[in-house]
Homo-oligomer: A and B are copies of this chain.
Amino acid sequence: MSLSLSDIGKAVLETEYAVRGPIVARAQELERSGKRIVYCNIGNPQALGQKPLSWVRRILALSEFPALAQLAPGAFPADAVEEAHRLIEGSKHGLGAYSESKGVRFIREAVAQFIRERDGIDADPDSIYLTDGASKGVQAALRMLISGPQDGIMVPIPQYPLYSATITLYEGKQVNYYLDEHNGWKLSRQMLEESIAEAKRFGVRVKGLVVINPGNPTGSVLDADNIAMIVDFAREHGLTILADEVYQENVYRQGERFVSFAKVMHDKGETDVSLFSFHSTSKGFLGECGHRGGYFEIRNIPADVSAQLLKLQSVSLCASLPGQVTVYCMVRPPKPGSPSHDEYARERDGILGELKKRARLVADGLNSIPGVACNEVAGAMYAFPRIELPAGKTDSEWCMALLEAEGICVVPGSGFGQIPGTAHFRTTILPPTDQLADVVDKIARFHASYR
């Protein structure tokens, strides 16, 4: 055949993406042959039974088929009808037309307003780009930063494999910095300095720094002081920050709250460090993964660079309009006192309350297993426990064996990165609370037999 494996470039061949790797392929195979599989490999809440918010789906249905407001007057509270009407008017041509390359301006204005209210700082709709999920935004930012094989991007270890995969595909250098497992996966100035010093010794031109907050897969949450330290580090080394903030609504530990990089940079008066910050409709309490809604905001980016970014985005024309509408629903919830508010608040609090319970249940459950140690899940949707393995066994083998024995699909630590000689796995905390205890029991049973 005219196309053969020898035609495929090194960058493509070397790209790895563990979250959908061989273990997931095997799980699908087992499922087709009739085995029941619990998919804990990916943060896909609605695949594990989470219900969509009624507010979001009502607005989407009305935007798809505006005549419904008349055809089915009883099906929609007045505020949903009004909001959908405003949105369709604001989009100019509805959901069937390509929007501007950055996304519908009316929706970008709503995102800017959301950032203003969240952080008490100004935000510019022209600095906001609506994207098909956060992934596409991350790829756009990395495309801007990586211009040659010596360009390096610092990523936390463990990290979300979108970063390693994209850096490999764009033929840049991944520069690892380790998070401190024994200190709740915190990151320290010293680790950042060691990492960049070593990269420079190897001739790497370090250009960007990825921070995932709340952490995936670690579940840790950064405070304002941490973030200020990172911003100082970036400024001193001339780095651009990629702040992956898709789990900003998923903070469970008492007394902690999400703080954005944009706010810390504003409060410090930082005007040198370039920032891309990412958000998504797939996580939080919406869990609308299939709608692929997302946005990124840029700060301290020169106009000639943002012109290049806009040009690149325009090659793909625009993000999906239903995804853009989902972003609008995320940043414009029903107001207190409006007809939809109570239902919305009830659904939101129900989901977040369950996730909080599950975060504790998973960490406590895993910690009760001999040979497993798990940090508290303070945020996000995952636990990343350390496991003791028999000599010569890898965490990939352990995960595959767990799948075969118990039908539980998790991802080996090697897919996220870990200190050599250690072994981990990542599991989501998403299965329904009543099933989750069973998942933990099965892992316990399996691990006992495996050791």
Chain A contact residues, CB within 8 Å of chain B:
1-5, 7-10, 12-13, 15-17, 19-20, 28, 42, 44-47, 50, 52, 57-58, 60-62, 64-65, 67-68, 71-72, 74-75, 92-101, 132-133, 135-136, 139, 143-148, 162, 165-166, 169, 207, 234-235, 238-240, 271-274, 282, 287-292, 300-302, 304-305, 308, 311-312, 314-323
Nearest neighbor of A75 in chain B, beta-carbon distance = B71
Q: Which residues from B are CB-within-8-Å of A9?
A: 146-148
Nearest neighbor of A239 in chain B, beta-carbon distance = B2
A292 to B312, CA, bound (A): 17
Selected A-B contacts with CB under 8 Å, 13 pairs = A1-B302, A2-B272, A4-B305, A8-B147, A12-B147, A19-B314, A20-B101, A44-B93, A61-B61, A61-B68, A71-B75, A166-B315, A292-B321
Question: Of the candidates B12, B46, B101, B315, which one forms a contact with A94 in the assembled complex, judged by CB atoms under 8 Å apart?
Answer: B46
A2 to B308, CA, bound (A): 16
Q: Please tell me if the beta carbons of B7 and A145 are within 8 angstroms of each other in the complex.
A: yes
Q: Which residues from B are CB-within-8-Å of A60?
A: 64-65, 322
Question: Of the candidates B71, B100, B169, which one forms a contact with A28 in the assembled complex, judged by CB atoms under 8 Å apart?
Answer: B100
Given A98-B289, A235-B2, residue A315 in contact with residue B162 (CB < 8 A): yes
A269 to B7, CA, bound (A): 24
Q: How many copies does the complex hold?
A: 2
A308 to B5, CA, bound (A): 9
A65 to B75, CA, bound (A): 10
Q: Please tell me if the beta carbons of B5 and A302 are within 8 angstroms of each other in the complex.
A: yes
Given A44-B98, A52-B96, A57-B65, residue A13 in contact with residue B308 (CB < 8 A): yes
Q: Which residues from B are CB-within-8-Å of A13?
A: 308
Q: Which residues from B are CB-within-8-Å of A135?
A: 315-317
